[in-house]
Amino acid sequence: MHQPSADTSSNPIGYAKSHNGDVPDKAAKRWFVLHTRYQQEAAVTAQLDAEGAECFLPMVPRPGTPKAGVKKPSAVLFPGYVFLFGLREQAFNADRNDRLVNIIEVADQVLIDRELNQIHYALECGAEFLSQPEFAVGTRVQVTSGPMIGLIGFIEQCRAPRKIVLQVQTLGQAVGVEIDEAEVEPIE
């Protein structure tokens, strides 16, 4: 993983800038956000690591008391997302096993570097992250991947693990569809 420093006042990644000083050179390393398919974060990270790419998958301890002698399991802090610090080609290579929903190009490299540095530093210091439900009942969302892409509806129920029931109005009747929450995004 790209090793962020505790000092977030400067840009520790040192990405290359173009002649105008504010846009990264297309051939330089930079941050990409890889939106993964359901529970594919570890596989994507392993693939990137095997290829020598630098990536960041923030993990936090799961709540609960582990059994004696058993390591406390970890959970992904941002389910459905892996952060890649690399070249554009590495981001596209990560998609060749069909584990990605989307590759998100980050416009503000300084901001994402600062934010990821802060998260990394907090994790290193043992900070406790509180899990917040991603969606509340009644949230209006749009399906962004899978066979129902483009469908718009409302969250009717939140089920474990990471399943939601999406209520869709069609022909004056409501129907419920169970879907992975990684496949929807809130809309206004």
Binned at pLDDT 50, 70 and 90, residue 12 comes out as very low
What average pLDDT does the structure give for the chain?
Answer: 76
**How confident is the model at residue 136, as a pLDDT?**
75
**pLDDT above 60 (res 7):** no
Q: Which pLDDT does position 19 carry in this prediction?
A: 32
- 163 band by pLDDT with thresholds 50, 70 and 90: low
**H-helix segments, the chain:** 41-50, 88-93, 109-124
The DSSP symbol for 137 reads T
Query: Of the ranges 8-17, 45-54, 139-148, 149-158, which one carries the lowest mean pLDDT score?
Result: 8-17
Range scoring the smallest mean pLDDT among 57-66, 92-101, 148-157: 57-66
What integer is the mean pLDDT of 179-187?
Answer: 79
- Say if CB 104 and CB 32 are below 8 A apart: yes
Residue 173: in which H helix or E strand, if any?
strand 173-180
Residue 34 near residue 91, CB atoms below 8 Å: yes
Return the H-helix or E-strand segment holding 34.
Answer: strand 30-36
Tell me how far apart the alpha carbons of residues 142 and 187 are, in angstroms, rounded to a whole number: 7
Q: Is the pLDDT of residue 167 over 80?
A: no
For residue 115, what are the contacts with CB-CB under 8 A and spacing of at least 6? none
State the pairing for strand pair 81-86/54-56: antiparallel
Mean pLDDT lowest for which of 9-18, 21-30, 58-67, 87-96? 9-18
Over 60: is that where the pLDDT of 165 sits? yes
